[in-house]
């Protein structure tokens, strides 16, 4: 799947807002606010359930990495996520 298509599919699901569980959220992290070198995917199956996390890292901006963005779309599809959240901006790594 190409990068633009992946980003559009993620954005579309994010725009829909909270629709219930299962829920997936994406949080981006990096050394600077301009480049996200890591993304943490948090999956919550149902309300009150223990969230599961998976981390993806790259040498460059993971938001512009076609493979990582395609993997995020696949996670959304395979978990049948009703809600997708994307944390705005890049959180600085310490």
Two tokens, residue 33: 């606010």
Q: Give the residues across from 35 on adjacent strands.
A: none
Q: Which pTM was predicted? A: 0.91
d(CA 86, CA 26): 5
d(CA 69, CA 75): 10
Q: Is the peptide bond before 22 cis (omega within 30 degrees of 0)?
A: yes
Q: What is the pLDDT of residues 35-44, one digit of tens each?
A: 999 999 999 9
Q: What is the pLDDT of residues 64-83, one digit of tens each?
A: 999 999 999 999 999 999 99
Q: What was the pLDDT predicted at 57?
A: 96
Q: What mean pLDDT comes out for the span 1-11?
A: 93
pLDDT class of 94 with cuts at 50, 70, 90: confident
The total number of residues shown for the chain amounts to: 94
Please provide the average confidence, as pLDDT, over all residues in the chain.
Answer: 96
């Amino acid at each position: 799947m190409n990068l633009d298509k992946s980003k559009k599919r993620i954005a579309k699901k994010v725009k829909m807002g909270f629709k219930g569980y299962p829920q997936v959220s994406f949080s981006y992290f990096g050394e600077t606010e301009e480049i996200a070198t890591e993304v943490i995917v948090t999956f919550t199956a149902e309300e009150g359930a223990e969230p599961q996390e998976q981390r993806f890292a790259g040498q460059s901006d993971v938001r512009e990495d076609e493979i990582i963005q395609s993997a995020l779309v696949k996670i959304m599809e395979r978990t049948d996520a009703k809600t997708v959240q994307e944390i705005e901006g890049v959180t600085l790594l310490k």
